[in-house]
Structures are given as structure tokens and as C-alpha cells.
Amino acid sequence: MIAMILAAGRGERLRPLTDRIPKSLVEVGRQSLLERHLENVRAAGVETVVINLGWLGGQIVERVGSGSRFGLQVIYSQEGNNILETGGGIHKALPLLGEDPFLVVNADVYTDMPIPTVELDADTLGHLVMVPTPKYRDHGDFDLIDGRIRNRTNDGESSRLTFSGVAIYKPAFFDGCEAGRFPLAPLLREAADRGQLSGQLYEGRWADIGTKERLAAANHS
């Protein structure tokens, strides 16, 4: 399986730290988030990783290089100043990701989660790892019912679980998408409505390192 690590984002809420380094190179426990993910995917048997580059992407290339010191082949998908959001970034990288299902990891999450290993059946386009919704969020993203990802639509309550940023997708998940900048969330909601997403719940260590406060909390946990 090929993995893609999403590392192009600007990290506005982590400024001024991210004025000088890309968000994926922010450190938790004296190790950057990106390097932690590279070690984790290699430990799971992944050999090829695609990293998309945007804000200060040259620093990532300098730090990671070919990926050989991690036992990986690292390929870069350049976005430059035209950062494509999650959906557009994955779509641009599809030619690098092959014809089989591939793993996607958001670089700005901190977790000890095992890399998911699932087989997607013929009717399933993706598999999401969900986590309990953190206290700093007022609602979740989806529900998980009998192993399927569902949008909550029938009782007026918010969804209970949050998407962890770790998932497996078939290339066909992006059929019909056009090149350019677009978010992933609407595609996930449409696929959930069609019953085409499976999922699992992870209740171990996980944090979205999206703000200075969350970064400080992760470094003191």
C-alpha cells in the first residue's frame, strides 16, 4: 500500500511558529509530526510515501529527502503557492498513488494509532478511522453504525464521532472530480449517504495539533 501524508497547509492558527517552519515539522516530544508519521507507516510495512508540499515545502524536502533514512521511498507532489485543500491535493497526487487503495494521513495529527489494515469490498470506496469528539469541538463529523460511516440526519442531534484524518481510499472515490482546489468533506458526506464508507473507532492517543494551545497540551501529556 502507498501512503500519502498531507503536509501542504499553512497552519494559520499556529502562527508565529508556522511563519518560519511548515506545520508538519512542528515538534511534539522533540520529534516532528511528519517524521513520526513516516516512522509509523514504515513500521506498518508501507514502502512508498507521497507528501504534498505547499507552504515552506522546501524545508520538508531538506529534512526528509528521498526518505531513505526512514527505509522509505518518498515522492513529492508540489502545490507551491496554490494550496489545493485536502480533496484537491489528493486528487492531484492520484497519478503517484497507483491503482490500489491507498492510505492518507493528515500530517497535523499526533497519535499512536496503528495504521489501519482493511480490505475494501466492492461496494466500499473508503475506510475512515474515527475518534471520540474532543471537548474543544461542539459537534462531531459522523456516526459509526455497524461498521459503516453515517451522516446523522434523523434526530436533530450532532454526530458523535470525529474523523481522525487517517483513512484508506480507492482511487475511484475521486471519480468525477476535476483538477483544482476543493475540500474533502463534501465528498465524504456524499459517500456516507450512499453507504460507501466503512469505519472503525480508535480510542487511544490522538490530538489535532491545530492551535498553539493543543500543541502545548500534547507536549505536556
* DSSP SS3 for 101: coil
**Mean per-residue pLDDT over the chain, rounded:** 92
Residue 42 binned pLDDT confidence (cut-offs 50, 70, 90): very high
User: What does pTM read for this prediction?
Assistant: 0.93
- Give the pLDDT confidence of 73-114 residue by residue, as tens digits: 999 999 988 899 999 999 999 999 999 999 999 999 999 999
18-31 residue pLDDT tens: 889 999 999 998 89
pLDDT at 66 over 60: yes
Instruction: Output the CA torsion sign for 28, 118, 172, 189.
Output: negative
Over range 32-50, report the average pLDDT. Answer: 96
Rounded distance, CA 192 to CA 151, Å? 6
Q: Distance between CA atoms of 44 and 72, rounded to whole angstroms?
A: 12
pLDDT at residue 71 tops 90? yes
Domain 3-219's class? alpha beta
Average pLDDT of the residues in 122-148 = 92
What integer is the mean pLDDT of 209-215?
Answer: 85
Whether residue 155 is predicted with pLDDT greater than 70 in this model: the reply is no
Strand pairing category for 27-28 and 109-111: unpaired
| Domain residue ranges in the chain | 3-219
Whole-number Å distance between alpha carbons of 54 and 199: 29
Q: Are the CB atoms for 105 and 82 separated by under 8 Å? A: no
Residue 153 pLDDT > 80: no
